[in-house]
Amino acid sequence: MTAQIIDGAAVAARLRQTIAARVTDIKAKQGRVPGLAVVLVGEDPASHVYVRNKHKATVEVGMRSIEHKLDATTSEADLLDLVQRLNADADVDGILVQLPVPKHINADRVLQAIDPDKDVDGFHPINAGRLAVGQPALVPCTPSGCMILLKEALPNLNGMHAVVVGRSNIVGKPIAQLLLQADCTVTIAHSRTRDLPAVCRSADVLIAAVGKAEMIKGDWIKPGAVVIDVGINRVPAADGKSKLVGDVATAEALPHAKAITPVPGGVGPMTIACLLNNTLMAFERRHGKH
């Protein structure tokens, strides 16, 4: 047996096409398009790449991209002021403040200043709470993407034992909530979990969101399990350059798993597609669904 490779790039491309078609329809009917505002503070090179990719993807589906690139010395008060202006701007449907922000700015205070109905990253405690109690919420993008990929391989999750390795607020916890909503029995594992290999071996669905290169070995995977590898880790490559690997030792996992997401090309491409989907949802909640 060798695992099916779940093609995140293809699934993300399909989702972006669906979103683009909806945006075209909205434009024809309402004469306006959803707008996504992205705020970047400072010069972090990786953040600049992420923001550039988000801008490109936003424009490609026909939405309006509003970029605010602020100097690294911007004060927290000025950033909060910008967030308030974006909250009040009727043409802005989604607001995203790219993390990390410089150390002199309290990221929690900034994220909590975003109008929860425009919080397309889904990091606001109001959205985390709505998700936890099963109310309509803007759900963090990576967890949403994981669920879409998981359902590609396993449309009915009812009664499955899902193990989520990682309990961060942006990945592990929201994925666990989504799995619970999908009627899985959910175990959340973390750095203090005892006998992690045995816990993983009990999983019909294994979600790896740890941030440790290839930590999850082939023999930790229950035969026939579906594995979603969220990890993105840069490691030295044989040619002296570097390469990206996930949290799962993919080659070892292939003979055990039913299906697995690759790194790169698995969860990664879904994140931006789900950000666009959240922007569309935020627009539709504000202006009515068409």
Ligand X SMILES: NC(=O)c1ccc[n+]([C@@H]2O[C@H](COP(=O)([O-])OP(=O)(O)OC[C@H]3O[C@@H](n4cnc5c(N)ncnc54)[C@H](OP(=O)(O)O)[C@@H]3O)[C@@H](O)[C@H]2O)c1
Residues that bind ligand X (CB under 6 A): 142, 165-168, 170-172, 189-193, 196, 209-212, 230-233, 267-268, 271
Minimum distance, C-beta of residue 196 to ligand X, in the bound complex (Å): 6
Q: What is the DSSP letter of 31?
A: S
54 catalytic residue (yes or no): yes
Q: Choose between 87 and 233: whose C-beta lies nearer to ligand X.
A: 233
Q: Is 269 helix (H, G, I), strand (E, B) or coil?
A: helix
User: Out of 93, 119, 121, 204, which one is annotated catalytic?
Assistant: 121
Tell me which H or E stretch contains 280. helix 267-287
When the beta carbons of 103 and 192 are compared against ligand X, the nearer one is: 192
* Count of positions (residues) in the chain: 290
- Cβ nearer to ligand X, comparing 103 with 240: 103
Smallest separation (angstroms) from ligand X to the CB of 229: 9
Q: Which residues pair with 260 in a beta bridge?
A: 5, 227
Q: Taking each helix axis as running N to C, give the angle between helix 141-153 and helix 8-30, from 0 to 180 degrees, rounded to the nearest 10.
A: 120
How many Cα atoms are found within 13 Å in the side-chain-facing hemisphere of 110? 28
CA distance 128 to 174: 7
Dihedral angle of Cα 207, 133, 281, 178, to the nearest 10 degrees: 10
3-state secondary structure of 283: helix
Tell the smallest beta-carbon distance from residue 172 to ligand X (Å): 5
CB of 84 to ligand X, least distance (A): 27
Amino acid at 86: L
Determine whether 44 is an active site residue: no
Residue nearest to ligand X (CB): 168
Nearer to ligand X, 95 or 245 (CB): 245
Active site residues: 54, 98, 121
